[in-house]
Amino acid sequence: MALAYDLSPAPDLDAFVTRKAGARPRLELLVKGARCAACLGKIERETQALPGVSSARLNLTTGKLSVEFASTADAGAVISTLERLGYPASPYDPGLAAEAADREGRRLILCLAVAAFGAMNTMMFSVPLWAGLFGQELGPATRTVMQWWCALVATPCVLFAGRPFFESAWRSVRVRRANMDVPISIGVLLTLAISFSETLLHGRDTYFDAAVSLLFLLLIGRWMDHQLKARARSAAADLLALQAPVAIVLDGRGLEHRRPIADVRVDDVLIVRPGDRIPVDGRVIAGFAELDASLLTGETRPISMRQGDVCRAGALNLSGALQLRAIARSEDSAVAAIARLVEAGAQSKSKYVQLSEKAAQIYVPVVHSAAALTFLGGWALGLGVRESLLRAVAVLIITCPCALGLAVPAVQVSASSRLFRRGVLVKSGAALERLAEVDHVVFDKTGVLTEGRPQLVDAEAGIVAQAAPLARASSHPLAKAIAEAAGPGPLAEDVVEHPGLGVEGVIGGRRARLGRAGFLGVANAQARETELWFGFEGDIKVRLAFSDRLREDAAKAVADLKAMGLTVEVLSGDAPRAVAMAADAAGIVQRRAGLTPMEKADAIAALQSEGHKVLMVGDGLNDTAALARAHAAMAPGSALDASQNAADLVFSGARLGAVVEAIDIARQARRRALENFGFAAAYNLVAAPAAMLGLVNPFLAALAMSGSSLAVTLNALRLRRAA
Amino acid sequence: MNIFMMLAPMSVLLGLIGVGAFWWTVSHGQYEDPAGDAARILLDDDEHPSRD
């Protein structure tokens, strides 16, 4: 029966070691809990001391440890060393996507550096030109020399640093659409061309400095946007890696191999130990165990599994070791059907139009018609082609879309970094905007309102202390809850674990049992809640009840949400009684129990068709479809990877208050962004007519442009500071 | 004017050196682990064998 326990675990993690031709084998690990210099030193020293390891370097910012092996790679030894030091580690695949994102980031940084260099140096040569504008002595010959120096520096810088904009504009023009990069590219290139012709014609007004500084400011916005996306992407990838889906496969000779779940084939024999999740759908061929399928269905009561039963992927094995024969591959497991629902939801979400896009749709035609009108108007009024064109360019420059290109990313970066410090991970800027619009919050019960793990209720301290020595010897989650409640203490002797039934051992010379009612000979037919029985041989048997405790601040969080004007509801797959208890305790009136994953998603869809904007907070696989369907979605860090992927935000820690904070900050961010748009509109209302009337010279253009950018950025940064 | 004709290229050259230096630091991954770099100077072991 205890088939898996006699086999020594032979971890076969070599699948995660990357071997490239001409390079040493490498292993990338995600290390949890490393925070300080001491951790860093300890981890690197101990890992390097292992035989076969040639170097180990920990990135403290991302928590990634990169290990290089001299010849033979022993990934298992590295991981067990880290675990011994107290830092759980899991292998992850660095992947191609991350590398590509990194290249894009480096390119932006290089463009930014070139633009900064160009802006500074062109500005330096522009200072005499500006002085000339204000009546200082500047002969035409000197002016032309200065202008040529500006051209010499600015032209290559604009052509190089502007490439991200030019390329994106070209891509969108080819499919006959206009994004923000089209007016930016046209504006910059036109400015450059006009400034050149003015230099050749010995004119007074050139805008080389404006062209480069415009690119510089916009590149800052572009880079911030990229950083936000890259961080969210890498965090999402890390979440996937953390689950490090490994299955234990038994080969023909009875040896265990750890394999990535994707490599499990139908008819493979798998071993699932207590505390592990079922990796793929499978039929039990040996063993007996209770499964917790709450992440799949929301139901907290364990399900018994014996030979011939089919276990679904994602369920947690609570008690005995199981031998399964895989009946589906990972992609084909019951999980995959839900994944398709998630995809459908994600597609409907991608249609969401962000604030900055909406603004751009208004901005682009208005500015371009203004510039065109200026040119045509000036021409009609007899200003001549050259002067009319100069004024049109001045309009394009002075109405630079910095408020759009810089202000929104700045707001989003400061909002998400503030949330990040509070343990909330934001996956995209659009997610923040959607969260700000939410008016109805739907909670899942198990694992969201509650802590998602059983805890001892109403137990007498004396009985707990009596049962504790047995409980400490068991790995069953319920026994662990008893051991936790009792604190440290002695272990029972001669402990025998009967998988699926309970544990038996000797405490203080007396034989005792802890386990299911039947195991102790108690005729208890209805086991309504999660329970264990304990008793000494021949003595009375005592019942220990467990329940899933409400998160500590659940009631306060719900009250706060209501105070913010949101309506709150519980949708759960669990039994009505359990849902009612949790909802009452949290102060939520609207509740529905016993829902299937489909019904949950439909309930959300119904709410949204009534005009509500719904925030779904859920952790289980049964919630993923609802998470994907909802206007905005949050998942706790303890959720399944599928749920975390479907969610827009992931919060870590035991506090539900994170949901309140996230909504609050998202609303503030929206307010800041709208303020910035308002500011930009007001500024343009003054500046654009001034440029049309020819009141703007290159100096004023430079001043107005940087001034307005600075103002919107500082306004965005207020978000970071606020308590 | 002559001094200007000397100073202008020199200032541009200095700027270019700055851009080059910045690019070197980026391409050598100097901004990839700010927290780790801040912590590393506190470590005592002088001969640190790992080097990328």
Cross-chain residue pair B18–A117, CB shorter than 8 Å: yes
Distance CA A685, CA A690 (A): 9
**Whole-number pLDDT of residue A7:** 32
Tell me how crowded residue A346 is: count the other CB atoms within 10 A of its CB. Answer: 14
Q: A198 CA to chain B: closest CA distance, Å?
A: 22
pLDDT on residue A142: 84
Q: Looking at beta carbons, which residues of chain B come within 8 Å of A109?
A: 26
Q: At A457, phi and psi to the nearest 5?
A: -125, 150
Question: Does the pLDDT at position A161 exceed 90?
Answer: yes
Q: Residue A322 has which token pair?
A: 């199981």
- The residues of A that are catalytic are 444
What pLDDT was estimated at residue A667? 92
Average pLDDT of the segment spanning A119-142: 84
| Contact (Cβ atoms closer than 8 angstroms) between residue A575 and residue A594 | yes
Q: How far apart are CA A344 and CA A350, in angstroms?
A: 10
Please report, rounded to a whole number, the percentage of residues in chain A having pLDDT higher than 70: 85
A347 pLDDT exceeds 60? Answer: no
Of B15, B34, B51, the CB nearest to A121: B15
Report the largest interatomic distance among the alpha carbons of chain A, rounded to a whole angstrom.
112
Q: Which burial class, exposed, middle or buried, applies to A102 when counting CB atoms under 10 A from its CB (0-12, 13-18, 19+)?
A: middle
In 3D space, the residue among A92, A76, A77 whose CA is nearest the CA of residue A32 turns out to be A92
pLDDT at position A5: 30
Of residues A501 and A577, which shows the higher confidence score? A577
Which residue bears the tokens 């919630």? A623
Is A571 exposed, middle or buried, given 0-12, 13-18 or 19+ CB atoms closer than 10 A?
buried
Flag whether residue B39 sits within 8 Å of chain A, measured between CB atoms. Answer: yes
**Which region holds residue A308: left if phi is over 0, alpha if psi is between -120 and 50, else beta?**
left
The token duo for A409 is: 């990313």
pLDDT in tens, A496-555: 777 667 888 888 888 888 887 778 877 765 555 567 888 888 788 888 887 778 888 889
pLDDT surpassing 90 at residue A322:
no
Query: Residue A569's beta-bridge partner residues?
Result: A442, A590
Interface test with B, best of A26, A39, A57, A146 (most B CBs within 10 A): A57
Whether the Cβ atoms of residue A630 and residue A604 lie closer than 8 Å to each other: yes
Which among B27, B33, B45 has the least Cβ separation from residue A60?
Answer: B33
- Among A13-17, A313-317, A598-602, top mean pLDDT goes to A598-602
Q: What is the DSSP string of A161-181?
A: HTHHHHHHHHHHHHTT---TH
Please give the pLDDT value at position A567.
Answer: 92
Residue A331: the pLDDT is: 66
The shortest C-alpha distance from A711 to chain B (Å) reads 27
C-alpha–C-alpha distance, residues A450 and A165, integer Å: 48
Q: What residues in B contact A55, CB-CB < 8 Å?
A: 49-51
Compute the CA torsion angle A659, A660, A666, A670 (nearest 10 deg).
150
CB contact under 8 A, B35 and A60: yes
pLDDT tens sequence across A27-63: 888 777 777 788 888 888 888 888 888 888 888 877 7
A665/A244: higher pLDDT: A665
Roughly what angle, to the nearest 10 degrees, separates helices A163-174 and A181-200?
A: 120
More confident residue, A527 or A706: A706
State the Cα–Cα distance between residues A310 and A325, nearest whole angstrom. 9
β-sheet bridge partners, residue A617 = A443, A634
Mean pLDDT, rounded, of chain A? 80
Give percent above pLDDT 90 in chain A.
12
Write the pLDDT tens digit of every residue in A382-423.
888 888 888 888 888 888 766 667 778 888 888 888 887 777
Q: What is the mean pLDDT of residues A117-139?
A: 85
Tell me if B26 and A153 make a contact (CB, 8 A cut-off). no
Q: Is the pLDDT of residue A723 over 50?
A: no
Q: Please give the sequence-ordered ranges of beta strands (E in DSSP) within A396-444, or none if there are none.
A: 424-426, 440-443
pLDDT tens for each residue of A219-243: 988 888 887 777 666 655 555 544 4
Instruction: Give the position of tokens 């308002």.
Output: A678
State which amino acid sits at residue A497. Answer: E
Could A40 and B12 be called an inter-chain contact, meaning their C-beta atoms sit closer than 8 Å? no
Backbone angles phi, psi at A615, to 5 degrees: -100, 120
Tell me the average pLDDT across A549-567.
Answer: 90
Average pLDDT across chain B, whole number: 80
The DSSP symbol for A203 reads -
B35 inside 8 A of chain A by CB: yes
The DSSP bridge pattern shows strands A567-571 and A590-592 to be parallel
Burial (CB count <10 Å: 0-12, 13-18, 19+), residue A362: exposed
Q: Which helix (H) or strand (E) holds A530?
A: strand A530-536
Rounded Cα gap, residues A563 and A540, in angstroms: 51
Buried b (16+ CB within 10 A) or exposed e, A673-710: bebbbebbeebbeebbeebbebebbbbbbbebbbebbe
- A57, A110, A149 member nearest B52 (Cβ): A57
What are the residues of chain A with a beta carbon less than 8 Å away from any beta carbon of chain B?
Answer: 36-37, 40-41, 44-45, 48, 55-62, 106, 109-110, 113-114, 117, 120-121, 124-125, 142, 149, 153
Token pair, residue A577, equals 């009684």
* Amino acid identity for residue A49 in this structure: A
Q: Taking a C-beta distance cutoff of 8 angstroms, is the pair A209, A702 a contact?
A: yes
From A90, A356, A394, select the one nearest A242 (Cα to Cα): A90
A60, A61, A110: residue with CB nearest B23: A110
* Global confidence as pTM: 0.71
Neighbours of A384 (CB within 10 A): 11
φ and ψ at residue B43, rounded to 5 degrees: -75, 145
According to the model, what pLDDT value does residue A351 have? 60
B13–A contact, CB cutoff 8 A: no
A643 to A314, A466, A536, A629: CA distances (angstroms): 12, 40, 44, 12
* Cα A293 versus chain centre, distance: 25
At residue A444, what is the residue type? D
Query: What is the pLDDT at residue A242?
Result: 46
- Minimum distance, in Å, between the CA of residue A146 and any CA atom of chain B: 10
Q: What average pLDDT score do residues A662-680 get?
A: 89
